[in-house]
Structure formats: C-alpha cells, structure tokens
Structure 1
C-alpha cells in the first residue's frame, strides 16, 4: 500500500516473492507476477540482490552508484539506487526520499506512506 502526497492510493502485489536466509544475506531470490496500479514494477531490477543497510551495503553496483543504503537513508534490496526506496526520508528530496519511481506524476518525493507486507508461503 502506497499513499502519495496528493492523497492517491496505489498498490503493488506479487504472486511470487522469495527471500533467502541470513547466510545468503536475505537475498531477494525470486519475484514474479506483478500486478497493481503503480505504473510499473519498480522491484524488477532487484532480483538476486542482497539486503543492504547503511552500515552494511551489499549492493551489486556500489562501484557505479555509490552506497545505495547510505544515499537512500534506508535499507532495501538495492541492485541500483533508482526505482524504489521504501525506507527513504519523508519529505526528502531526490533519491533520498520515500519513492516508487513509476507512480504516475512521480518526481521522487511524492509519497507520504508506504507499507510492505510479506506473508508465509502457502502450502
């Protein structure tokens, strides 16, 4: 669930969402079956990315894009620092803000609320 500053609500849902264990850095091993009204799948680039935090950046492209978790003021499966920042700064600017890039009319800093829910696999 995502709410923009202009009061519009958006959602993204995935049929398949798999995360590896701690030994594998909580790598996002599979994500598929996107549906929603966000304008696109901002998480598509993050497959096979390890979880990064400001004090432990496990991003694939730290040499090209800097340390994404530090730049984005958050933690996430950063493969590149650009499409989604669920833990960014409220009312931040640019890539430091809370954003989902593909939301219609998005200019990085348009979100006031974002909630991610992950449920256990169905048997």
Structure 2
C-alpha cells in the first residue's frame, strides 16, 4: 500500500518474492508477477541484487557510478542504480532522498506520506 501526498492510494503486489540466505548476502533471488494500480513496476531493477546497508555496500554491479545508495537513500535495501523505489526516504523530502515509488502518475520522485510492505510465507 502506497499513499501519495495527493491523497490517492496505490498498491503493488508481487506473486514471487524470494530472498537468499546470509551467505548469499540476502540477495533478492526471485521477483516477479507484478500487479497493481501504479503505472508500473518500480522494483524490477532490484531482482538479483544483494542487500546493502550503510556500512556494507553490496551494489557491486554499478559501483563505479552508484556508490553508497544506502547512505544516500537513508537505509538498507536491495539497490541497483539506487532504484525507482526508496522505502527509506525522508518524509516530505525532495528528489531521490524522499520516500518514493517512481511509477506513480505525475512527476518523478513523487513524495509519499505512507508506505507499508507486507511479506507472507510461501504457500506449499
């Protein structure tokens, strides 16, 4: 569930969301089956990315250009080019430092007032 500052509510759902173990840097190994009422998938970039924190940048794929995404985006996440989604951004911030889902109608880096992520166990 995503609620934007324009008062509209959006959602994004993924049928597949699988995370590897610590030895594999909590890599997001499978992400797919997006559906929702946003203008698209803002998490697609992070598939197969390792978990990065402020003190351990595992965004090695784009290390030459996009370093320290966890520092710039204010928290840990699966970063690839610092992303189209920032669940750790500043409330009422601006630009990529804000809390945003980049595929909401309107301009880039829409400020969000509420964000909720839910993960449920896999079904057998």
| TM beyond 0.5 | yes
**Aligned Cα root-mean-square deviation (Å):** 1.1
**Conserved? CA contact 1:18–1:31, under 8 Å:** yes
C-alpha distance in 2, partners of 1:120/1:101? 27
Residue 78 of structure 2 corresponds to which residue in structure 1? 77
TM-score w.r.t. the length of structure 2 is: 0.94
Secondary structure of 2:92's counterpart equals coil
- Contact 1:91–1:109, Cα closer than 8 Å, also in 2: no
Gaps of 5+ in 2: none
1:19-30 counterparts in 2 under 5 A?
Answer: 19-30=19-30
Whole-Å separation in 2 of the counterparts to 1:66 and 1:96: 14
How far off its partner does 1:62 sit?
A: 2.4
How far 1:66 sits from its partner (Å)?
A: 2.3
Shift of 1:106: 3.8
Residue correspondence of structure 1 range 1-123 to structure 2 within 5 A? 1-59=1-59, 60-123=61-124
CA distance in 2, matches of 1:30, 1:106: 29
Segments of 5+ residues of structure 1 without an aligned counterpart are none
Q: Is the 8 A contact 2:91 2:111 kept in 1?
A: no
The number of residues matched between the two structures is 123
Secondary structure, aligned partner of 1:64: coil
Matches of 2:13 and 2:45, distance apart in 1: 16
- Bigger strand fraction: 2
SS at match of 2:78: coil
Q: How far apart are the structure 1 equivalents of 2:120 and 2:110?
A: 28
Q: Which moved more, 1:28-37 or 1:87-96?
A: 87-96
Aligned equivalents of 2:76 and 2:109: distance in 1?
Answer: 17
